[in-house]
Amino acid sequence: MNQGWVNAAIDFVDANLEAGRADKIAIQVAGTPQSLTYAEVASLVNRAGNGLLGLGLQVEQRAVILLPDGPDFVAAFFGAIKAGIVPVPANTLLQPGDYRFLLEDSRAQALIVAESLLDRVAPALDGLRHLRHVTVSVDGSGDSGEVARGRRSTWSRHGMAEILDSADTDLDPEPMSSDDPCFWLYSSGTTGFPKGAVHLQHDMGVCAEGYARGVLGLTAEDTTYSVAKLFFAYGLGNALYFPFAVGATTVLDSGRPTPEAVFRNLVDYDPTVFYSVPTNFGALLDVPRESAPDALRSLRCCVSAGEALPVAIYDDWLARYGVEILDSIGSTEVLHMFIANRPGAVRKGSSGKPVPGYDARLVDDRGDDVEVGEVGDLLIRGDSTCAYYWNRHEQTKATLLGDWIRTGDKYRIDEDGYYWYQGREDDMLKVGGIWVSPFEVESAVVRHPDVLEAAVVGMADAQGLVKPKAFVVLNAAARESHSGTLVQLGEAIQAFVKEGIAPFKYPRWIEFVDELPKTATGKIQRYRLRTSP
């Protein structure tokens, strides 16, 4: 790299122009006739970077990106990086309190938000100490909405279209070191408070080399499509920097991944690599054969992550479509996959073997390596691991152990080197590929006026996928007044929870109990609930 400095945007955007791919399709916008070449993407990236600099943002200041998948997300993400600004992609499924925490914790100077999300984020904007600019994207093209202005708000509002239209199409990349911050991703913690994982300029390149090239063999001839969205670490690699690393084409869909939408994209855009999560694979298999495609001839492989893939789903998918699902495991902290199955070498039910460039250990409570077949705590070593958690010194020390990171997962290894998932060290749940804190769900449940106590654990549904289940103790008044109507009360509690937290976190089952099992000090014994009949 020039004079020893780096900038990740060069490797993933400008490099495609230097490789002669200026006219190659980089992005297909699902459900529309719109597509963008690598030259058009590079122009958007440069204009977005210049636009952020024009607002007065400086090197290493943060800009939160709250956008659906599409060209504006790509422009904002790589434009910020090229300008030396740190993008912070945010989950589009959260509640106002979550967004307020992210904006305050990251000390973001700018928020780039879709107009469709303004109503949700607007209550979080009152009196923020650091936010100076809100840039609004309308269908990826402009600004036609008003943001409610807080009494103490000091930020100004801009339209993304006007910023892009007025910005220069040339941008000199900010010289950075390979160890400079590049972007942040927030990862949930056991208390429900998210942690900002700080990723460096070289991290995306490590993942692209190890997994995209080393495991999937991704090339410029591929077209990729990911159900996981760009604000996830999983989706960010799948649908953005993996295809851009090799000059492939990515299909970006801003909508919900319903079975109908996913099948339409698989048929219309002929992707060769399809990334999804077990819940979605299960939903696709639930579609009656007469309503599902007969074949998906373009696919050469499918990838699953986010939660363990049940063997039944693997078998049913392979039988119906003749394409392997490569189950894998990664994390926000390590950025993408670190253990994965390989094409043609799948051991169904396992997570596979370490990805090139990564090492794995299984250790006991003393930190000693366990024997083959024994269960241990999974440690991973790889150069894409985040540098630290922002403002979380103690959690950083507990998780990052020198060259190794404690993943929080329990695994065993077999004689052939395949890793088999055994559960979590803590009580965190993976639901549809997204971390869910039982404490957060419990807090939402107990806010219902009829609830005295609640405990949430993970339970497997009919497909073997983990979902939240709530054990609920009613208060005395509710036990009297709701006698004989517990089914309706359970449904009312579920609806109540959906209003208070992100809807995907709500308990799929509610079981009413007289009391919760506890230790002598009053701590809920969730393990006893997980093993109850």
| Euclidean distance between CA atoms 156 and 59, whole angstroms | 20
pLDDT at 143: 38
- How far are the Cα atoms of 3, 32, 66, 139, 494 from residue 93, in angstroms, in the given order? 42, 23, 10, 18, 17
CATH topology of domain 203-424: Rossmann fold (3.40.50)
pLDDT at 301: 96
Architecture of domain 2-13+37-177: 3-Layer(aba) Sandwich (3.40)
| Euclidean distance between CA atoms 316 and 282, whole angstroms | 9
Name the residue type at position 220: A
- Residue carrying structure tokens 């995907």: 504
The domains spanning 2-13+37-177 and 203-424 adopt the same CATH topology: yes
pLDDT at 235: 96
pLDDT at 43: 97
pLDDT at 2: 52
pLDDT at 170: 96
Domain locations along the chain: 2-13+37-177, 203-424, 437-530
| Euclidean distance between CA atoms 324 and 343, whole angstroms | 7
Contact partners, residue 487, CB within 8 Å, separation at least 6: none
Give 518's DSSP letter.
B
| Euclidean distance between CA atoms 155 and 146, whole angstroms | 13
Longest Cα–Cα distance in the chain: 76
Q: What's the pTM value of the predicted model, to 2 decimals?
A: 0.83
| Euclidean distance between CA atoms 203 and 387, whole angstroms | 10
Task: Judge contact between 85 and 59, C-beta under 8 A.
Answer: yes
pLDDT at 139: 56
pLDDT at 261: 97
Task: Judge contact between 382 and 330, C-beta under 8 A.
Answer: no
Contact partners, residue 304, CB within 8 Å, separation at least 6: 275, 276, 277, 278, 281, 325, 326, 327, 328
| Euclidean distance between CA atoms 371 and 364, whole angstroms | 10
Task: Judge contact between 86 and 62, C-beta under 8 A.
Answer: yes
Q: Along the 533 residues of the chain, how does pLDDT read in single tens digits?
A: 455 799 999 999 999 999 999 999 999 999 999 999 999 999 999 999 999 999 999 999 999 999 999 999 999 999 999 999 999 999 998 999 999 999 999 999 999 999 999 999 999 998 899 999 999 998 543 333 333 333 335 678 888 988 888 899 999 999 999 999 999 999 865 445 789 999 999 999 999 999 999 999 999 999 999 999 999 999 999 999 999 999 999 999 999 999 999 999 999 999 999 999 988 998 899 888 899 999 999 999 999 998 888 888 899 899 999 999 999 999 999 999 999 999 999 999 999 999 999 999 999 889 999 999 888 899 999 999 999 999 999 999 999 999 999 999 889 999 999 999 877 777 778 788 777 878 788 878 988 999 888 889 999 888 888 899 999 988 878 887 765 678 889 999 999 999 988 889 999 999 999 988 875 445 577 778 887 66
| Euclidean distance between CA atoms 93 and 66, whole angstroms | 10
| Euclidean distance between CA atoms 478 and 464, whole angstroms | 33
Pick from 87, 443, 372: nearest CA to 231: 87
| Euclidean distance between CA atoms 245 and 218, whole angstroms | 9
Pick from 82, 22, 25, 29: nearest CA to 51: 82
CATH number listed for the domain at residues 437-530: 3.30.300.30
| Euclidean distance between CA atoms 262 and 267, whole angstroms | 9
